[in-house]
Amino acid sequence: MSRCDFKIVLLGSEHVGKTSLVIRFVNCRFNASTPYQNTIGAAFCAKTICVNGKPFNVGIWDTAGSERYEAMTRMYYRGAHAAIICYDPCCLESWTRLRHWLQELRTVEEECKVYLCGTKKDLIDSDEVRREVPEDIVNTYSQGLHGHCLTSSKTGENVEELFQKIVEDCVADINVMKDVKELRVQLQKEDEKKRVYCFC
């Protein structure tokens, strides 16, 4: 059995830090000296996360964020159990664009759990840059969603916690877990079938 139990998609404008967030979570590293690389279309990776001692295989889709790939990006929303919509608190434009990503997502996956993620927390904490998105606006906006957090892919702050919360929320959702159980049964049957054919 190899398919993912949960699908998480990352959305947000270019340069907000989506790829860095995934790399920090999956590979536990951050490299600021690497020249910026635009994600083309989307990139996929997976990681196992344990909740109540049980392992869950989580598939993460990191999308491009560029308008050039927008039609393509829609394909990746399909079947997503959760979406992390990233914005950079020091870039007002990335926040304004957030509504667009939310609308896009809702037209394809109405039931998808949505988490807002303000990135590059280390820069805000060090006062290196000026915060452009007021905290109270973010708090008001995120009330109707599943969560909001500020992360730093540089230090790793809140990154693990964000993904852990998402998976815990999925595990607590009866409808999501019904699908997970059905898929696991189906995959087990397929595996058994394959084994029978091997003996022939």
Ligand X SMILES: Nc1nc2c(ncn2[C@@H]2O[C@H](COP(=O)(O)OP(=O)(O)O)[C@@H](O)[C@H]2O)c(=O)[nH]1
Residue 31 Cβ vs Mg ion, minimum distance, rounded to whole Å: 13
DSSP for 30-90?
Answer: --TTSPP-PPPSEEEEEEEEEETTEEEEEEEEEE---GGGHHHHHHHHTT-SEEEEEE-TT
Per-residue contact string for residues 117-146; x = within reach of ligand X by CB under 6 A: --xx-xx-----------------------
> Could you tell me if 166 and 84 are in contact, meaning their C-beta atoms sit under 8 angstroms apart?
yes
Binder among 15, 26, 39, 123 for Mg ion (CB under 5 A) = 39
d(CA 57, CA 79): 15
What is the DSSP secondary structure assignment for residue 9, as one 8-state letter? Answer: E
Choose the stretch contacting ligand X; rule: CB under 6 A; options: 14-22, 109-117, 168-176, 187-195: 14-22
- Minimum CB separation of residue 8 from ligand X in Å reads 15
Kindly write out the interface string for residues 79-98 of this chain, putting x where it contacts ligand X by CB under 6 A and - elsewhere. Answer: --------------------
User: 3 or 29, CB closer to ligand X?
Assistant: 29
Asked if 20 interacts with Mg ion (CB under 5 A), we say no
Sheet of 82-87: strands edge to edge? 42-51, 54-63, 6-11, 82-87, 113-118, 147-150
What backbone phi and psi angles, to 5 degrees, belong to 83?
Answer: -130, 135
Name the residue among 166, 148, 175, 146 with its Cα closest to residue 59. Answer: 166
Among 8, 13, 19, 101, binds Mg ion (CB under 5 A): 19
Enumerate binding residues for ligand X (CB under 6 A).
12, 14-20, 32, 36, 39, 65, 119-120, 122-123, 152-154
Enumerate binding residues for Mg ion (CB under 5 A).
18-19, 39
